[in-house]
C-alpha cells in the first residue's frame, strides 16, 4: 500500500496513507468476524490497526526506522467515506558515543574472613527446622509437630478441600481454624481424634462460613523440634550432599561466599563501566519516551501490588503520596534505564554485535527449562525480537567488560 512519510519534529516520523471506502468497509466486516463484536468503535479500531500494522512493518524496514515505543494511530474520514490513517512513530534519539574502550576499571578484591564464614554457618543452622519422632506413646504438646491424615465433614458429608494426608501441623501455630489444634494436644501416634470446630463467620467459602463441622483425624506421628546446633550430628540430620562434618560445611560455605562476593564485585565493576560510558555519551531523551517508561514502571508496581491483595491506589494512600508524585519519584530511574539502554544499543550497532538465530533458539530452550514451559509456546508469549534484544544487551555488556576491566 502506498504511503507518505514525514518527519514533523525531532525523533518523530509521521506515516500517512488512505484506505478506500470499499476496502475499509470490507475490513470492518472481517473485524466483526474476528472480534465477534458489534461495537462500531471496537470494529473501527481493529480495522485501523490491521491496515496500520502492514504499512508500519513495510515503512520501518524500508526507512530503517527505530521505534522508541508503540506508535499512536488515528483515522480520519473524508466526504467520500475514504479513511486516511496516520501513524505517529516516536523514534529513538541519536546517541553520540564517548569513550567506551580502555576505561581500565578495577574490580574490587575479594576477601572472606573466617568470622564471616562462621556467622553464615550459624545463620544457616539457626534457620533450620528439623523434627524427630518422639517415643511411642508420647503425648503431643504445644510446640510439637503432628503428622496427620484428616477428613472434614459437614452434616456427615465430606466437603471439598477438607481432606489431607501426611499433613505436618505444628500445634500452637494457629495455621488451622480456631479450636482445631487445641483438640490434638495430648494425642499420641496411631490415635484417631474427632475434632469439632466451627468455621469463622468471615470464612472465604460462603457454604462453610459460620458452619459447624467435624474433622476425623488420624495422628500418624508426634515429633519434637531438634534444637539447632553446629555439630556433626545436626549436620547429618540436615542431609546436605557432600557434607559429613562441621569442617566440610565450613569449607563449602567459604567457597560459596567467595563465589558470591566475586559475582558482586564483577557486577559492581560492570555497573561502573556502564555508568562511565553512559555519562561520557550524549543523548537527548524525549519527555514522551521518559513518560512511557514511567508508565511501564507504574504498571509493574500495580501488578506487584495485586500479588499482595492491594491496589495501587491503596499503596499510594498508605505511603501518603499522589500518583503524580509517585511518577515523579520514578522519573530519575526511568532516565537512567533509558540512557543506558540507548548507549548499549548504539555500541552494539557500531561494533556489529548481533544475536544469531541459534543463540535465540538456545535462549528459548533455556527459558523453557527454567519455567518448565514448552519453547514453542514461550515464543507466543515472549516475542522473538524481545529475546534478541536481551541477548544483544548481554553480549554488549560482555564486550564492554572485556574492553574496560583492568587486567
Smallest CA-to-CA distance from 289 within 334, 324, 343, 325 is with 334
Do 381 and 263 fall into the same domain? yes
Query: Buried b vs exposed e over 124-156: b needs ≥16 C-beta within 10 Å?
Result: ebeeeeebeebeeeeebeeebbbbbebebeeee
Q: Is residue 310 part of a domain?
A: yes
Residue-by-residue pLDDT tens, the chain, 407 positions:
899 999 999 999 999 999 999 999 999 999 999 999 999 999 999 999 999 999 999 999 999 999 998 899 999 999 999 999 999 999 999 999 999 999 999 999 999 999 999 999 999 999 999 999 999 999 999 999 999 999 999 999 999 989 999 999 999 999 999 999 999 999 999 999 999 999 999 988 899 999 999 999 999 999 999 999 999 999 999 999 999 999 999 999 999 999 999 999 999 999 999 999 999 999 999 999 999 999 999 999 999 988 888 888 888 888 888 999 999 999 999 999 999 999 999 999 999 999 999 999 999 999 999 989 898 888 888 988 899 999 999 999 999 999 999 98
Measured distance CA(273)–CA(316) in Å, rounded: 35
Do 172 and 53 fall into the same domain? no
Do 17 and 159 fall into the same domain? no
Domain C-terminal end among 61, 91, 121:
91
Cα-to-chain-centroid distance, residue 325:
25
Cell triple for 216: 476425623
Do 395 and 358 fall into the same domain? yes
Domain C-terminal end among 225, 242, 277:
225
Instruction: Indicate the number of domains in the chain.
Output: 3
Task: Tell me the residue range of the domain where 36 lies.
Answer: 4-91
Distances (CA, A) of 100 to 53, 277, 308, 397, 406: 37, 5, 42, 11, 14
Do 295 and 345 fall into the same domain? yes
Q: Is residue 110 part of a domain?
A: no
Do 161 and 77 fall into the same domain? no
Do 261 and 151 fall into the same domain? no
Do 217 and 288 fall into the same domain? no
Q: Is this prediction's pTM over 0.85?
A: no
Cell triple for 254: 567459604
State whether residue 313 is helix, strand or coil.
helix
Do 83 and 154 fall into the same domain? no
CATH number at residue 292: 1.10.3120.10
Distances (CA, A) of 386 to 181, 234, 364, 371, 379: 51, 48, 11, 17, 10
CATH number at residue 9: 3.30.70.1050
Strand-pair partners of 13: 89
Q: Sign of the C-alpha dihedral, residues 208, 214, 216, 222? A: positive
Q: Is residue 308 part of a domain?
A: yes
Cα-to-chain-centroid distance, residue 345:
24
Positions of E strands within 179-233: 192-198, 212-225
CATH number at residue 174: 3.10.50.40
Amino acid at each position: 500500500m502506498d504511503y507518505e512519510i514525514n518527519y514533523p519534529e525531532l525523533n518523530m516520523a509521521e506515516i500517512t496513507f488512505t484506505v478506500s471506502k470499499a476496502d475499509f468497509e470490507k475490513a470492518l466486516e472481517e473485524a466483526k468476524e474476528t472480534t465477534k463484536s458489534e461495537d462500531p468503535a471496537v470494529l473501527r479500531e481493529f480495522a485501523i490497526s490491521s491496515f496500520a500494522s502492514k504499512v508500519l512493518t513495510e515503512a520501518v524496514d524500508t526507512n530503517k526506522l527505530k521505534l522508541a515505543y508503540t506508535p499512536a494511530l488515528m483515522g480520519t474520514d473524508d466526504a467520500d467515506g475514504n479513511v486516511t490513517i496516520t501513524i505517529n512513530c516516536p523514534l529513538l534519539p541519536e546517541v553520540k558515543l564517548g569513550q567506551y574502550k580502555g576505561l581500565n576499571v578495577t574490580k574490587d578484591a575479594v576477601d572472606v574472613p573466617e568470622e564471616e564464614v562462621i556467622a553464615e554457618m550459624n545463620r544457616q543452622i539457626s534457620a533450620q527446622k528439623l523434627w524427630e519422632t518422639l517415643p511411642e506413646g508420647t503425648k503431643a504438646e504445644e510446640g510439637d509437630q503432628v503428622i496427620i491424615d484428616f477428613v472434614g465433614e459437614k452434616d456427615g458429608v465430606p466437603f471439598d478441600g477438607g481432606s489431607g494426608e501426611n499433613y505436618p501441623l505444628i500445634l500452637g501455630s494457629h495455621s488451622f481454624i480456631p479450636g482445631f489444634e487445641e483438640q490434638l494436644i495430648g494425642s499420641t501416634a496411631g490415635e484417631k481424634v474427632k475434632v469439632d470446630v466451627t468455621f469463622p463467620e468471615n470464612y472465604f467459602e460462603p457454604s462453610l462460613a459460620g458452619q459447624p463441622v467435624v474433622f476425623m483425624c488420624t495422628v500418624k506421628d508426634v515429633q519434637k523440634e531438634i534444637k539447632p546446633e553446629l555439630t556433626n550430628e545436626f549436620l547429618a540430620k540436615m542431609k546436605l550432599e557432600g557434607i559429613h562434618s562441621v569442617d566440610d560445611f565450613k569449607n563449602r560455605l567459604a567457597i560459596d561466599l567467595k563465589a558470591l562476593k566475586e559475582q558482586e564485585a564483577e557486577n559492581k565493576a560492570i555497573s561502573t563501566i556502564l555508568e562511565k560510558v553512559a555519562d561520557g555519551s550524549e543523548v537527548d531523551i524525549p519527555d514522551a519516551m521518559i513518560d512511557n517508561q514511567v508508565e511501564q514502571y507504574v504498571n509493574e508496581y500495580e501488578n506487584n501490588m495485586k500479588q499482595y491483595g492491594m491496589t495501587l491506589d491503596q499503596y499510594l494512600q498508605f505511603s501518603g503520596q499522589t500518583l503524580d508524585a509517585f511518577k515523579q519519584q520514578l522519573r530519575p530511574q526511568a532516565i537512567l534505564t533509558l540512557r543506558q539502554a540507548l548507549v548499549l544499543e548504539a555500541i552494539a550497532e557500531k561494533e556489529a554485535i548481533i544475536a544469531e538465530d541459534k543463540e535465540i533458539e538456545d535462549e528459548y530452550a533455556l527459558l523453557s527449562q527454567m519455567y518448565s514451559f514448552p519453547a514453542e509456546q514461550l515464543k507466543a508469549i515472549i516475542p522473538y525480537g524481545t529475546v534478541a534484544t536481551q541477548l544483544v544487551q548481554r553480549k554488549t555488556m560482555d564486550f564492554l567488560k572485556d574492553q574496560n576491566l583492568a587486567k
